[in-house]
Amino acid sequence: MKYFKKAAALVLAVLCLMSGCRKKQELTSSFDRSGVTSAASSRNYITLLYSSSDTFNPYTAVTDINRQLCRLMYEPLVKTDNDFNAVNCLAESVTLNGKVCTVALKNALFSDGSAVTADDVVYSFNAAKGSATEYAYKLYGAVSAAASGGKTVVFNLAKADPYFVNLIDFPIVKKGSEARADEDGKALPPIGAGRYVSDDGMTKLTANTKYYGGSLNINEIRLINAPDSESVSHYVEVGAADMYYSDISDGNIVRMSGKKVSINLNRIVFIGVNKAYGELANAELRQAISSGIDRKAICRDGYYNNALAANGFFNPKWQPVKSVQSIETTANKEITIENLEKIGYNSVDANGIRKNSGGQRLEFELLVNSENRVRVFAAQLIANQLFEYGIKIRIAEKSFADYTAALVSGNFQLYLGEVAITPNMDLTNLVAEGGSAAYGAAASKPDVTADTASDTASDAPAEETAQSVSAAELINGFYSGTNTVNDVASVLQAEMPFIPVCYRTGVLFYNDNIENVNNSSLSDIYFSIESYKIK
User: CB atoms < 10 A from the CB of 444, how many?
Assistant: 11
Per-residue pLDDT for 37 more than 60?
Answer: no
Task: Read off the pLDDT band of 165 (50, 70, 90).
Answer: very high
Q: What is the mean pLDDT of the chain?
A: 87
Dihedrals phi, psi of 429, to nearest 5 degrees: -70, -15
Q: What share of the chain is helix, strand, coil (3-state, %, to 5)?
A: 30, 25, 50
User: CB atoms < 10 A from the CB of 95, how many?
Assistant: 11
Report the C-alpha dihedral over residues 296, 298, 304, 305, rounded to 10 degrees.
-30
Q: What is the pLDDT of residue 478?
A: 84
Task: Give yes or no for a contact between 479 and 99, defined as CB atoms under 8 angstroms apart.
Answer: no
3-state SS of 319-346? HHHCCCCCCCCCCCHHHHHHHHHHCCCC
Q: Average pLDDT in the 517-532 region? A: 95
Task: Read off the pLDDT band of 490 (50, 70, 90).
Answer: confident
Spatial separation of the C-alpha atoms in residues 229 and 221, rounded to whole Å = 21
Q: What is the pLDDT of residue 469?
A: 62
Q: What is the pLDDT of residue 483?
A: 86
Task: Give yes or no for a contact between 423 and 84, defined as CB atoms under 8 angstroms apart.
Answer: yes
What is the identity of the amino acid at 51? S
Q: What is the pLDDT of residue 12?
A: 41
Task: Read off the pLDDT band of 471 (50, 70, 90).
Answer: confident
Task: Read off the pLDDT band of 365 (50, 70, 90).
Answer: very high
Condensed to tens digits (0 to 9), the pLDDT of residues 197-223 reads: 998 777 899 999 999 999 999 999 999
The domain limits of the chain are 2-11+22-242+511-534, 265-504
SS3 492: helix
Q: Average pLDDT in the 431-450 region? A: 66
Q: What is the pLDDT of residue 187?
A: 85
Task: Read off the pLDDT band of 42 (50, 70, 90).
Answer: low
Task: Read off the pLDDT band of 55 (50, 70, 90).
Answer: very high
Condensed to tens digits (0 to 9), the pLDDT of residues 367-401 reads: 999 999 999 999 999 999 999 999 999 999 999 99
Spatial separation of the C-alpha atoms in residues 369 and 423, rounded to whole Å = 25
Provide, rounded to the nearest whole percent, the portion of the chain with pLDDT above 90. 74
Q: What is the pLDDT of residue 444?
A: 41
Condensed to tens digits (0 to 9), the pLDDT of residues 221-275 reads: 999 999 998 999 999 999 999 999 999 987 777 778 899 999 999 999 999 999 9
SS3 104: strand
Beta strands in 167-292 (DSSP E): 196-198, 204-207, 220-225, 243-246, 259-273
Q: What is the pLDDT of residue 442?
A: 62
Per-residue pLDDT for 467 more than 60?
Answer: no
Residue of higher predicted confidence among 188 and 115: 115
> What's the CATH architecture for 2-11+22-242+511-534?
3-Layer(aba) Sandwich (3.40)
Q: What is the pLDDT of residue 283?
A: 92
Q: What is the pLDDT of residue 410?
A: 94
For residue 96, what are the β-bridge partners? Answer: 101
Spatial separation of the C-alpha atoms in residues 440 and 427, rounded to whole Å = 15
Task: Read off the pLDDT band of 366 (50, 70, 90).
Answer: very high
Task: Tell me which H or E stretch contains 507.
Answer: strand 499-510
Spatial separation of the C-alpha atoms in residues 65 and 28, rounded to whole Å = 16
- Per-residue DSSP letters for 65-79? HHHHHHHHHS-BSEE
> Contacts from 332-335 at CB under 8 Å and sequence distance 24+?
332/291, 332/292, 332/459, 333/292, 333/389, 335/287, 335/288, 335/291, 335/459, 335/460, 335/461
Spatial separation of the C-alpha atoms in residues 207 and 197, rounded to whole Å = 6
DSSP-derived letter for residue 187 is B
Task: Read off the pLDDT band of 16 (50, 70, 90).
Answer: very low
Task: Read off the pLDDT band of 184 (50, 70, 90).
Answer: confident
Per-residue pLDDT for 39 more than 90?
Answer: no
Per-residue pLDDT for 288 more than 70?
Answer: yes
DSSP-derived letter for residue 38 is S
Condensed to tens digits (0 to 9), the pLDDT of residues 303-324 reads: 999 999 999 999 999 999 988 8
Per-residue pLDDT for 326 more than 80?
Answer: yes
Q: Of 505, 84, 494, nearest to 325 (Cα)?
A: 494
Q: Of 60, 56, 103, 99, nearest to 78 (Cα)?
A: 103
Spatial separation of the C-alpha atoms in residues 419 and 153, rounded to whole Å = 31
Q: 265-504: which CATH topology?
A: Dipeptide-binding Protein; domain 3 (3.10.105)
Q: What is the pLDDT of residue 303?
A: 95
Task: Tell me which H or E stretch contains 290.
Answer: helix 283-291
Task: Tell me the C-alpha to C-alpha distance, in Å, between residue 9 and each of 291, 293, 429.
Answer: 30, 28, 9
Spatial separation of the C-alpha atoms in residues 373 and 380, rounded to whole Å = 11
Per-residue pLDDT for 466 more than 80?
Answer: no
